[in-house]
Every structure is written in C-alpha cells, then in structure tokens.
Amino acid sequence: MYTETTDTTVSTVYFDGNCGLCANWAHRASRALPPDRFRFMPISTLDPPHDRDEMVVESGGRRLGGADAMVALMPHVWWLRPIGAIARLPGVMFLLRSLYPKLAANRYRLARVCRYPVPDNVESSGRRS
C-alpha cells in the first residue's frame, strides 16, 4: 500500500550498489532530493537484510519497497509530483506494483543496454566522489 513519507525525520533510500542503473539513479536522486531529508546507502548495508531486487525507503521506523518506495519519493521532487498524483488514481499502484518486479529483475540487462556501468566511485551515501 502507498504511504507518503511526510515526517521530518531523515529517510534512508537503499539501492543496489552493484547495479549501474540503480547506482546512477541513486546519484541523480541524491542531487534532486533534499539532502537534509534523504540519505542514500547500498542495500547490502540494510539490517536486517532485504530482497536485493527492491529499492527500499526507510523512514520513521517504516519500510517501503519497490514501486511504493519510488512513489513515496515523488512528492519531494517538484517535477515528479504530477506522476505521484497519477499513482494515487484507482488501479495505478496495482499496475506499478506489477511492473516494478519486472524492471528490477532486468535491471542489470537494462544497465548494459543503457550503458550505465557500475561506478566504482560511488560512496556509501550514493553520491559520487
């Protein structure tokens, strides 16, 4: 279920640091999201461990994964707000939740096709040095 993360705590966004697509996305997202509200960490640092096929947003003791995590970040980026609003329409989250696993399962293939190499200079925060 979609739940918006609107509290003032710092949210942690976990991503697959071994995936070029995910690492490049985390780098771009870390620049678009407010740094005082979001930090980025490789999913391998998550305790307890989580399914590596899913991006996770952890905020205020609550975990959102996959499409729910992506949509929860949208209200914090001005140009993604309309997409976040569309996601709240009936049936849209169902569609996103069914598509996200397919995207996640093929992320390494997509990274190769899009020529996103795994950056070796991504720090644990998701920001490049």
Would 119 be classed as within a structural domain? no
Residue keyed to tokens 């990274």: 111
- Token pair of 46 as six digits: 């998550």
Would 76 be classed as within a structural domain? yes
Average pLDDT over residues 84-109: 92
Would 124 be classed as within a structural domain? no
pTM given for the model:
0.76
State the pLDDT confidence band at 113, using cuts at 50, 70 and 90.
Answer: confident
Distance CA 18, CA 116 (A): 11
State the pLDDT confidence band at 124, using cuts at 50, 70 and 90.
Answer: very low
Would 98 be classed as within a structural domain? yes
Overall domain count for the chain: 1
Query: Residue 107's domain spans which residues?
Result: 11-113
Give the tens place of pLDDT for each residue, 2-54: 334 444 588 888 888 888 888 888 888 899 998 899 999 888 887 776 666 67
Distance CA 42, CA 52 (A): 10
Give the containing element (helix H, strand E) for 99: helix 92-105
Comparing CA positions, the residue from 88, 90, 66, 65 lying closest to residue 75 is 88
Would 5 be classed as within a structural domain? no
> What is the share, in percent, of the chain residues with pLDDT greater than 70?
79
> Do 31 and 126 meet the contact criterion of CB atoms below 8 Å apart?
no
- Token pair of 33 as six digits: 């999201």
- Token pair of 17 as six digits: 């640091």
